[in-house]
Amino acid sequence: MAKLKKTNQRSISSLESVHRMVDETEKHLQLPHGLVERIKACNSVFQVVFPVRFEEGYRLFKGWCAIHSEHRLPSKGGIRYDLSVTQSEIEAMAALMTYKCALIAVPFGGTKTGLCLDPRQYSDYQLQRITRAFAVQLARKGLVNPSGNVPAPDMGTSSREMAWIADTYRTLNPQDVNALACVTGKPVSQSGIVGRSAATGCGAHFALREIFNHPKNLKKFNLKKGLKGKKIIIQGLGKVGYAAALKLQTVEDAKIIGVIERDGAIFNEKGLDVEDIKAHLTETGGVKGYAKGRFTPDREGSLEKPCDILIPAATSRQITIKNVKRIKAHVIAEAANAPISYLADQYLNKAKKMVIPDIYLNSGGVVVSYFEWIKNISHISFGRMEKRFDEIKGHQISEAIEKTTKRKISSVLKQNLLHGADEIDLVMSGLDDTMRRTHQELSKIFHDHPRIHDLRTAAYYIAISRIANTHLEMGV
């Protein structure tokens, strides 16, 4: 059994956890003295305090924007609305975004923005007032703009808030032809991109598919090939968790045996219907009362149930020194940001469990955000120019096949040949390719480097190397 050092885990913040991971990775790199400290340092942090007037009077709101790195521009990161938002957490998430973008070779720096509030306590009208006021504060300081800092939805926000921010920025900057590129994750009707809302979950599905089809992974962790029949517990059935669970169930035929939510968890060893649970959750606000599963109010204990894959897709620091010894899952896939603390991660590695790190597994959102940003600054939808050309080409190919073979091809094959790529086809193809290519790079380091024995260190090795090379090549 792996042993944990006797360290006060509560004294290690998320930011310190990220820094320690970078320090661990530095041991495997040969970089000039001080460069890693430069990479770790957050470029700038802004605190914003602003009033919003409601019928009962004024309320003050506090938020932060941390710009961790501008080695690539624009910087990219989510805007979250949550009562747990602190400056330290925002800095940690900004750093993770820098490393995530570098790992998946998306040319962005890293940033994060947060507002300390519970969006469920406000009406839609009030949230719009708050969001627009926040956007004004950010825009005036250059913290929202298409070429410098491009936010996206995060916890507590959605495409709706992004539309409000984009409209506010465009009102303040009517001369900016690229104004709508100031945020991503917008509604499709407001120059968003098809597939963005499900992108992070779909990316997690692609990543898990690659992981479970790699022979060296299977041998190293004694896993069976493929996702079919794998028993999965997922924490959080929001945008990320729902999309991932649905794909794993419908495409891979995996078995979702447990869903953990705010009010507790439900289990069924025979498998749960993800869409049915989501409908119940939308209607009631929780999983309690769902008739086709066994309910328990013990959320923390539910993470410790036996399964093949545990997917924390809710909030950070869910697996810590307090509960890590009781985690029975063979594979832990970080769909949320930093759901495993630093020391817990060390323990899981020593216990020979596979941890798929967040900066790889949940990177699908920023991949598709990159596509949306490109779409906005190019001012043309993906597939618009080539779709009809592809259809004509497919028709010519089908005719050539039938003429050569003197046989009619099947209607299904003909339909596939005649189908020109839509935006969603191109987006999912690009996302799939990114996750596949990144996994190939990760696997090479993970399995071939003599001193790297976990995927997180392999991921940071690639990310830090790329950021360092950028600095060195630019002479900064």
The domain ranges of the chain are: 42-190, 199-364, 382-435
Is residue 6 scored above 70 in pLDDT?
no
pLDDT bin (cut points 50, 70, 90) of residue 11 is: low
Q: With CA atoms as reference, report the closest residue to 151 among 176, 168, 172, 175.
A: 168
**Can you tell me whether residue 53 is helix, strand or coil?**
strand
Do 42-190 and 199-364 agree at the fold level? yes
Residue 74, preceding bond cis, omega within 30 degrees?
Answer: yes
pLDDT of the residue at 68: 95
Pairing of strands 331-333, 309-312: parallel
pLDDT of the residue at 63: 95
Name the residues annotated as catalytic: 112
pLDDT of the residue at 133: 96
pLDDT of the residue at 439: 96
- Tell me the average pLDDT of the chain: 92
Helices (H) and strands (E) in the chain, counts: 17, 12
For residue 387, give Cα distances in angstroms to 223, 380, 418, 426, 427: 41, 13, 10, 11, 14
Classify residue 89 by burial, with Cβ atoms within 10 Å: 0-12, 13-18, 19+: buried
Within 29-134, strands assigned E span 44-54, 57-69, 75-81, 109-115
pLDDT tens for 303-361 read 999 999 999 999 888 999 999 999 999 999 999 988 999 999 999 999 999 999 999 99
Rounded-to-integer distance, Cα 169 and Cα 162, Å: 10
Report the topology of domain 199-364: Rossmann fold (3.40.50)
**455 C-beta neighbours (distance < 10 Å), count:** 23
pLDDT tens for 174-225 read 999 999 999 999 999 999 999 998 999 999 999 999 999 999 999 999 889 9
- What tokens appear for 404 in the block? 């050569």
Rounded-to-integer distance, Cα 435 and Cα 458, Å: 15
pLDDT of the residue at 269: 93
Is residue 5 scored above 60 in pLDDT?
no
Report the topology of domain 42-190: Rossmann fold (3.40.50)
pLDDT tens for 111-123 read 999 999 999 999 9
pTM over 0.75: yes
Is residue 10 scored above 60 in pLDDT?
no
**50 C-beta neighbours (distance < 10 Å), count:** 16
Is residue 8 scored above 70 in pLDDT?
no
What is the share, in percent, of the chain residues with pLDDT greater than 70?
97
